């Protein structure tokens, strides 16, 4: 067994050594290809040089992938070789960053001098250069992390990069704020611009939109990079949310949520300070609008109540209550929003806050929302209404109240049962009183010694004599089953729904009385037991 273990260890070490050798050969080959591409880039100009530089970056990405694999499976023997390549990466990234910084400066100057028609193409080149530059900053940070893993950290350079990222975050944040403001102003100008001014304003607006999109992408990348450097990015995360309105995992951090809330409170406080002379007047306007819309709410509810109560519409009670309630609430909410806008409040952060709160509340109230959705289905399909006798959700009784969340059922023994709508909609619903006419199903038996014709005559006489039994549809009285101890008749008269139980009980009582008078027996199950006594002495 020990010999086998030694052999396995030897085989494993040989395989790992071969893998390291292959990766080392791949590194050497990639080094040669990158050097050749670098020399080629020095001889190219214009777009041809850009193509070679793109090839150079792609090859370097491939090289970094090999380096990462070797670092993850490093040994003491491979550390010197890896340190050499990582230091080369540090130098290469620094040179590429300097080159891109010069290119960004040149593109910015070119953009200032470009005509309106040329600005779009120049802007695209500038955005690409900025995006590559921020990407290189992230790769440089990975290089410094690799040096730490290899036991040769460079804290001075790493600290300088952290400081550089902090400055770039501030610059990119200011750029995004400026471009967002410009985009908003140009959007307003576009609405009021004349036909002759619109083309130039549209072009400027498009350029500004691209600047905003580029700033957002770069700021997001820098925020992710800064988080890995343990830099506080709360302010920048808040800014990205306020500009884009997109929900991210970072927004769920308590610090970011508190910052958003503080910003909203600060904005409201600043608004009150700046508009103190007008606050009282606007509050009067606010109260007046609310008062008017409260009156409109009541009028609307009355009008809708009259409309939905029309017998021609044949609406269920739940649907009537829904339209009456929603009409009043809808009018009042519109009035509230108008009143808030009249006093100068910016509704965008409020509505955004409602959106965030709505997502959180939606997760917390999944069951309630399920009941609400089921209530909407009950409202649309109307399987029952208030006053109907139903069997739903495992409960039988009379429906006394319905809402979009639950249904209140009063049982026959006068208990109140509140059943969630999701349980009702997800189960079988039996509406006993939905139809105006019902059939009463009864079974009566006679003995085998009794006359079938006589029994049929008596049953027909009993059913025909009852005043609540309808003539149409016709009743059914038939010999149904030859049972073990009785001959069973089915008796099925038709009655009005409200007379169902009276007919059932009256006919059952009358059958017993008449059968006794007519000499017809009502059999019940019997069993004969025969005992056989065995004489043991005779058997012996």
- Range in 56-65, 219-228, 470-479 with the lowest mean pLDDT: 56-65
Query: Given pLDDT bands bounded at 50, 70 and 90, which one contains residue 7?
Result: very low
Quick one: pLDDT band at residue 443, thresholds 50, 70, 90? very high
Token reading at 369? 């929302």
Give residue 494's pLDDT: 94
Give percent of the chain with pLDDT exceeding 70: 75
* Average pLDDT for 211-233: 80
* More confident of the two residues 282 and 148: 148
| Cα 277 from Cα 295, distance rounded (Å) | 29
Q: What pLDDT is recorded for position 360?
A: 55
Over pLDDT 90: what percentage of the chain?
Answer: 12
Q: What is the pLDDT of residue 47?
A: 67
Note whether 392 and 424 are within 8 A (CB). yes
Which of 423-437, 510-524, 526-540 shows the highest mean pLDDT?
510-524
Say which residue, 354 or 119, is predicted with more confidence: 119
Q: Indicate the SS3 state at residue 68.
A: helix
DSSP characters over 95-153: HHHHHHHHHHHHHHHHHHHS-TTTHHHHHHHHHHHHHHHHHHHHHHHHHHHHHHHTT--
CA distances from 109 to 28, 102, 114, 211 (A): 40, 11, 9, 16
Pairing of strands 416-420, 406-410: antiparallel
pTM for the model stands at 0.43
Predicted confidence at residue 6, as pLDDT, reads 32
Confidence of residue 88 (pLDDT cuts 50, 70, 90): confident
Highest mean pLDDT among 95-104, 149-158, 203-212, 471-480: 471-480
Which pLDDT score is estimated for 491?
94
> What domains are defined for the chain?
276-364 (1.10.287), 381-431 (2.30.30.60), 437-518 (3.30.70.100)
What pLDDT is stored for residue 9 in this prediction? 34
Q: Is the pLDDT of residue 462 over 60?
A: yes
pLDDT category at 193 given cuts 50, 70, 90 is confident
CA distance 285 to 318: 37
Note the pLDDT tens digit of each residue in 196-220.
777 777 777 788 888 888 888 887 8
The residue with greater pLDDT, 208 or 520, is: 520
Residue 490 confidence (pLDDT) = 94
Flag whether pLDDT at 538 surpasses 60.
no
Amino acid 4: pLDDT: 34
């Amino acid at each position: 067994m020990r010999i086998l273990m030694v052999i396995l260890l030897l085989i494993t070490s040989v395989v790992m050594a071969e893998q390291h050798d292959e990766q080392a050969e791949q590194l050497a080959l990639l080094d040669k290809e990158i050097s050749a591409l670098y020399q080629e880039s020095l001889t190219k100009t214009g777009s041809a040089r850009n193509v070679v530089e793109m090839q150079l970056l792609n090859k370097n990405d491939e090289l970094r992938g090999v380096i990462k694999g070797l670092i993850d499976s490093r040994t003491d023997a491979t550390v010197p070789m890896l340190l050499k390549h990582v230091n080369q990466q540090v130098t290469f990234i620094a040179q590429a960053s300097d080159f891109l910084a010069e290119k960004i400066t040149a593109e910015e100057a070119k953009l200032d001098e470009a005509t309106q028609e040329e600005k779009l193409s120049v802007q695209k080149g500038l955005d690409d250069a900025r995006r590559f530059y921020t990407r290189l900053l992230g790769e440089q940070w990975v290089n410094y992390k690799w040096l730490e893993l290899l036991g040769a950290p460079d804290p001075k350079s790493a600290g300088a990069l952290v400081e550089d990222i902090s400055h770039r975050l501030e610059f990119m944040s200011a750029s995004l704020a400026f471009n967002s403001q410009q985009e908003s102003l140009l959007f307003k100008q576009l609405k009021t611009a004349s036909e002759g001014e619109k083309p130039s304003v549209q072009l400027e607006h498009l350029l500004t939109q691209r600047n905003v999109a580029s700033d957002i992408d770069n700021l997001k990348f820098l925020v992710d990079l800064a988080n890995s450097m343990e830099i506080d990015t709360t302010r920048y995360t808040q800014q990205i949310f306020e500009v884009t309105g997109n929900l991210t995992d970072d927004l769920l951090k308590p610090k970011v949520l508190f910052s958003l809330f503080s910003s909203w409170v600060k904005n409201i406080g600043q608004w009150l300070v700046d508009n103190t002379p007008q606050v009282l007047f606007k509050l009067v306007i606010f109260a007046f609008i609310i008062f008017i819309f409260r009156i409109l709410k009541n009028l609307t509810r009355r009008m809708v109540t009259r409309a939905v109560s029309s017998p021609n519409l044949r609406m269920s009670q739940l649907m009537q209550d829904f339209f009456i309630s929603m009409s009043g609430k809808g009018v009042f909410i519109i009035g509230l929003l108008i009143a808030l806008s009249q006093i100068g409040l910016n509704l965008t952060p409020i509505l955004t806050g409602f959106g965030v709160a709505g997502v959180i509340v939606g997760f917390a109230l999944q069951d309630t929302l399920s009941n609400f959705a089921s209530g909407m289905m009950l409202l649309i399909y109307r399987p029952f209404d208030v006053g109907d006798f139903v069997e739903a959700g495992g409960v039988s009784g009379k429906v006394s109240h319905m809402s979009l969340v639950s249904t209140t059922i009063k049982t026959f023994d006068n208990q109140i049962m509140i059943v969630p709508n999701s349980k009702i909609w997800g189960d079988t619903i039996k509406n006993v009183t939905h139809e105006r006419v019902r059939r009463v199903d009864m079974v009566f038996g006679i003995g085998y010694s009794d006359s079938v014709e006589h029994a049929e005559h008596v049953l027909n006489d009993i059913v025909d004599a009852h005043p609540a039994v309808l003539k149409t549809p016709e009743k059914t009285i038939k010999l149904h089953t030859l049972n073990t101890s009785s001959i069973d008749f089915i008796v099925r008269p038709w009655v009005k729904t409200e007379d169902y139980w009276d007919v059932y009980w009256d006919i059952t009582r009358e059958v017993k009385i008449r059968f006794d008078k007519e000499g017809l027996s009502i059999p019940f199950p019997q069993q004969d037991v025969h005992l056989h006594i065995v004489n043991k002495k005779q058997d012996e």
